[in-house]
A and B are shown apart, each in its own frame.
Chain A
Amino acid sequence: MSELGDKGFRQSQAFLHTWSGLLLGWVLFAVFAAGTIAFYREGLNRWMRPELAKVEQPEKVLAGAQRFLQEKAPDAKSWSIYLPSGSTPGAQVSWRPQPVEGEAPRRGRNRNQVMIDANGEPAKVRETRGGEFFYRFHFDLYYMPVIWARWLVGVAALLMLVAILSGIVTHKKIFRDFFTLRRGKGQRSWLDGHNATAVLALPFHLMITYTGLVTLAVMLLPWATSAAFKDEAGYFEALYPEPAEVERTGRAASLVDLTTLVRDAEQRLGGKAGYLEVSEPGDAAARVGVIRSGASMLSSRTPRISYDGTTGKPVWASPEAGPAVVTAGSMIGLHAGRYSSDWLRFLYFLCGVAGSVMVASGMVLWTVKRREKLHDPARPHFGFKLVERLNVAAIGGFPLGVAVMLWANRLLPVEMAGRAAWEVHCLFLAWGAALMLGIVRKPQPNWVALLGLTGVLLAALPVYNLFATERGLFASLWSGDGVLAGIDIALLVFGAAFLALARRVARHKPAAPRVRRRAAPVQPVAAQMEPAE
């Protein structure tokens, strides 16, 4: 409508805010919530493997990893080791066998993976994806090719950026709203809640959305590299120079002690090492590459150093990157928050929760605002019903799925085939059930059922841990394991919050529609155009 142009900047942006926020809001909610959980992926990696102790002596684990690989795959093409630290349950090691002549290299997940535990032995541990699931789901989603998923997530993030910027413009009194919370006032309360969570963590929302786009930039802007480079590969070569690959000589030579090598590398790299790769182990041409840990610096562009594997002499180091590349790397580092200390990480998490609530309350607000203006509240039009029910399915269903998945992690038999995948299937089965419920039943009882069930399941998890695992809340507190104790406490707090929400929704009586049923036809289009303020 040309009216958009005539109504002034703020109104036009209110319109844009409403619709750009709604369009992929359900995807955005799941992405935001999963990303928030993923700030504690290392913690969840441990929480979801309760049989493993925390690593106290990383060097012992690394020595064990080298011993294991030496026995298991002495003449592999390459080994890789995610180096252990105090926040890991051990070292994840994997190896690639020598390629067989005339056989295409295997694609997909590498099956040659083992976890080396805190004692340096191959761990007997339940098969689980741990916290990594939330990290991957956050941009790869699930059950679909990752490239589609990343485009979908990328477009959702772009809409989010537009929704945030237009949301700021829409606000007349941005700082007063910050301090306003009118409780029990229906639409005003929802609006206040939406504003509070949005404005309170506004710098975070802007940062996380923009830096999230930067993580996907090369995919989202495929032509951006085409003007200065022949192809994307040329850009990546300029961006991430790598040492030349080595040829196997066939002369056997023993590999240097990796523990000593890592100590040397940490000195030269200027911080903790995070990842190690050996090419052609056991051969005279062996090379060892060590990469600095992303947890030890802001930029995600972590430097790399390469050693001769038999002499232990450094042979190559990644060159210093330019300012723009470091800026991009730092944005990605800011997004993932791996550099953050315990308290900063907690702040990240709280802001992520605020963001999830902002998205969820915005979606609910869309229906709350329109409910009063419906011609016949008993029979809302299709669009209204769709949004209302998808809200229940997405916002009520995803947390339930997470709770069910955590229970599956505890209850599925340890020797079950495909156990890790089934943990994830359980999440989606529960989420799918929430969607079915959303289709067949009225929204309000569904909110109560889903929120209530989620609350009970979450709050019961720490209780189960207390009795069925060695790492219950008190044991964690006693041994000073702040992360595991924190996760248990967070589960209790979120369980209680979901139960409280369920109770509120159960007691809620929709305000009697204002005298609106008199024949006077409301102007439907104009009504929807009302600014969000």
Chain B
Amino acid sequence: MSGRGNAAAVSPWRKRGDIALRILAALPLGYAVATFWAMALSRILPMNPAEATTTGMLVAFVICAVSAMWAFAAKSGWRAIWVLAAAGGVAAAITWISMRMGGMA
């Protein structure tokens, strides 16, 4: 992926597209990653539901901020998108499986 960036002249539109992808990765996606991890933690942490949910929320803002930082540090916009989508996907899967298996408060 980095090959594109090394090209001598990168067209301004490609640059703008890359920035747009990173913004998408940082904001809607980074937020989704944080939310899904908050949900997953509220299911899997070995504490009562109110405690686990609260812990999930306390951690979520760190996840959101670090996701946004990483979205701009990644090699390319596309890479930022797919890595964050995968990170959120793992949490979503954990949540889904746990909810299929167990009940709810």
- Chain A interfacial positions (CB closer than 8 Å to B): 1-6, 9, 12-13, 15-16, 20, 158, 161-162, 165-166, 169, 210, 213-214, 217-218, 221, 223-230, 234-235, 238-239, 322-325, 327-328, 331, 525
Is B81's CB within 8 Å of the partner chain A? no
Give chain B's interface residue range (CB within 8 Å of chain A): 35 or more
Quick check: B69 and A162 within 8 Å, CB to CB? yes
Ordered by A's residue number, 19 sampled pairs between the chains whose C-beta atoms are within 8 Å are A1-B5, A2-B2, A2-B5, A3-B5, A3-B10, A4-B18, A166-B69, A210-B61, A223-B39, A227-B39, A227-B40, A228-B42, A228-B104, A229-B49, A229-B53, A234-B105, A322-B50, A325-B51, A327-B54
Quick check: A224 and B65 within 8 Å, CB to CB? no
8 nearest A-B residue pairs (beta carbon): A2-B5, A1-B15, A224-B38, A238-B50, A227-B39, A5-B75, A228-B49, A228-B42
Residues of B within 8 A of A226 (CB): 39
Residues of B within 8 A of A328 (CB): 54, 57-58
* Pick from A165, A213, A239, A525: contact of B50, CB under 8 Å: A239
Least CB distance, A184 to chain B, in whole angstroms: 34
Least CB distance, A167 to chain B, in whole angstroms: 11
Is B93's CB within 8 Å of the partner chain A? no
Proximity bits, B29-60, A CB within 8 Å = 1, else 0: 00000110011101100011111111111101
* Pick from B12, B49, B65: contact of A158, CB under 8 Å: B65
Given A238-B50, A322-B48, A324-B52, A224:B73 Cβ within 8 A: no
Residues of A within 8 A of B43 (CB): 227-228
State in angstroms the CA–CA spacing of A325 and B54 once bound together.
6
Quick check: B15 and A525 within 8 Å, CB to CB? yes
Residues of A within 8 A of B64 (CB): 158
Given A223-B39, A325-B51, A161:B72 Cβ within 8 A: no
Least CB distance, B56 to chain A, in whole angstroms: 6
Quick check: B51 and A324 within 8 Å, CB to CB? yes
State in angstroms the CA–CA spacing of A13 and B98 once bound together.
36
Least CB distance, A332 to chain B, in whole angstroms: 11
Residues of B within 8 A of A525 (CB): 12, 15
Q: In chain B, residues 2-18, which have Cβ atoms closer than 8 Å to a Cβ of chain A?
A: 2, 4-6, 10, 12, 14-15, 18
Least CB distance, A2 to chain B, in whole angstroms: 3
State in angstroms the CA–CA spacing of A500 and B19 once bound together.
42
State in angstroms the CA–CA spacing of A162 and B39 once bound together.
22
**Nearest-CB residue, chain B, relative to A154:** B61
Residues of B within 8 A of A234 (CB): 105
Least CB distance, A51 to chain B, in whole angstroms: 44
- Chain B interfacial positions (CB closer than 8 Å to A): 1-2, 4-6, 10, 12, 14-15, 18-19, 22, 26, 34-35, 38-40, 42-43, 47-58, 60-61, 64-66, 68-69, 72-77, 79, 95, 98-99, 104-105
Quick check: B53 and A213 within 8 Å, CB to CB? no
Given A6-B2, A162-B65, A224-B56, A238:B105 Cβ within 8 A: yes
* Pick from A4, A213, A227, A325: contact of B95, CB under 8 Å: A227
Quick check: B40 and A16 within 8 Å, CB to CB? no
Quick check: A224 and B39 within 8 Å, CB to CB? yes
Residues of A within 8 A of B6 (CB): 6
**Nearest-CB residue, chain A, relative to B38:** A224
Given A225-B53, A228-B53, A15:B72 Cβ within 8 A: yes
Residues of A within 8 A of B51 (CB): 322-325
Residues of B within 8 A of A230 (CB): 104-105
Quick check: A331 and B58 within 8 Å, CB to CB? yes
Quick check: A4 and B54 within 8 Å, CB to CB? no
Residues of A within 8 A of B5 (CB): 1-3, 5-6
Quick check: A224 and B99 within 8 Å, CB to CB? no
Residues of A within 8 A of B4 (CB): 2
Quick check: B69 and A13 within 8 Å, CB to CB? yes
Least CB distance, B39 to chain A, in whole angstroms: 4
**Nearest-CB residue, chain B, relative to A323:** B51
**Nearest-CB residue, chain B, relative to A3:** B5
State in angstroms the CA–CA spacing of A218 and B56 once bound together.
11
Least CB distance, A298 to chain B, in whole angstroms: 16
Residues of B within 8 A of A221 (CB): 34-35, 38, 57, 60
Residues of B within 8 A of A210 (CB): 61
State in angstroms the CA–CA spacing of A203 and B81 once bound together.
31
Residues of A within 8 A of B60 (CB): 217, 221, 224
Quick check: B99 and A227 within 8 Å, CB to CB? yes
Given A228-B42, A228-B53, A322-B48, A213:B2 Cβ within 8 A: no
Quick check: A213 and B104 within 8 Å, CB to CB? no
State in angstroms the CA–CA spacing of A1 and B12 once bound together.
8
**Nearest-CB residue, chain B, relative to A212:** B61
Quick check: A13 and B73 within 8 Å, CB to CB? yes
**Nearest-CB residue, chain A, relative to B64:** A158
Residues of B within 8 A of A227 (CB): 39-40, 42-43, 53, 95, 98-99
Residues of B within 8 A of A322 (CB): 47-48, 50-51
